[in-house]
Amino acid sequence: MLTAAKYILACSSPKIRRAFFSATFGTDVEQWCRLNLDNLVSVNIGPRNTAAETVEQELLFVGSESGKVLAMRDLIKKGFLPPVLVFVQSIDRARELFHELVYEGINVDVIHAERTQQQRDNVVTSFRSGKIWVLICTALLARGIDFKGINLVINYDFPTTAVEYIHRIGRTGRAGHKGKAITFFTEDDKPLLRSIATVIKQAGCPVPDYMLGFKKIKR
């Protein structure tokens, strides 16, 4: 067995090559890389911090919080192609939406940090095998799970930043396949609307001009 010193020596070998991959690349991350990595080489595939053109993106005005449930029920009645990933902002929101949808007769489940590891593993396995059609999750937890073949992403709760939005909808439209993302927004979400609308327009999807005219909020 290698001793701890040998492990450290192996990890610090000049032959080691380190690679960092991300759907977004902020200036703070770039600065960290330049300070901590030697002989840095940056490769960008497409414009930085943009959404994939393989994703059809749509902003859907739902009026208020109660309008979100009505919009979800309307999407279900119109029909959808599973698997579907639904993003919410908190564990409580995930639970609430689950109880709303479970009565609609669709195979839905929820995944969040307060479920046990075994429960989360079972949900992910069922989702991947097609036993679960709609999976509700928090954005934070979903970043650490690799989902393949997602046909539709629904942002039930509006993302707080463009970076978060890009990571969410990046769950669909992968490996050259087409996908769709629908983002609900209410009157209260208007201050955050401009940054998301800009990302959508850059990807070639239609966006009303008035959305791009909102004042840019400060960090």
Asked whether the predicted pLDDT for residue 46 surpasses 60, the reply is no
What is the percentage of the chain residues whose pLDDT exceeds 70? 83
Q: What is the pLDDT of residue 218?
A: 61
SS in 3 state form for 61-121? Answer: EEECHHHHHHHHHHHHHHCCCCCEEEEECCHHHHHHHHHHHHHHCCCEEEECCCCCHHHHH
Q: What is the pLDDT of residue 58?
A: 93
Record the pTM.
Answer: 0.79
**What average pLDDT does range 80-106 have in this prediction?**
90
Confidence of residue 106 (pLDDT cuts 50, 70, 90): confident
Query: Would you kindly state where each structural domain of the chain is located, as residue ranges?
Result: 55-212
Does 3.40.50.300 match the CATH number of domain 55-212?
yes
Least confident of 13-22, 102-111, 172-181: 13-22
Confidence of residue 141 (pLDDT cuts 50, 70, 90): low
**CA-to-CA separations, 163 to 24, 38, 119, in angstroms, rounded:** 6, 26, 29
Mean pLDDT value across the chain: 83
Q: Which residue has the higher pLDDT, 49 or 120?
A: 120
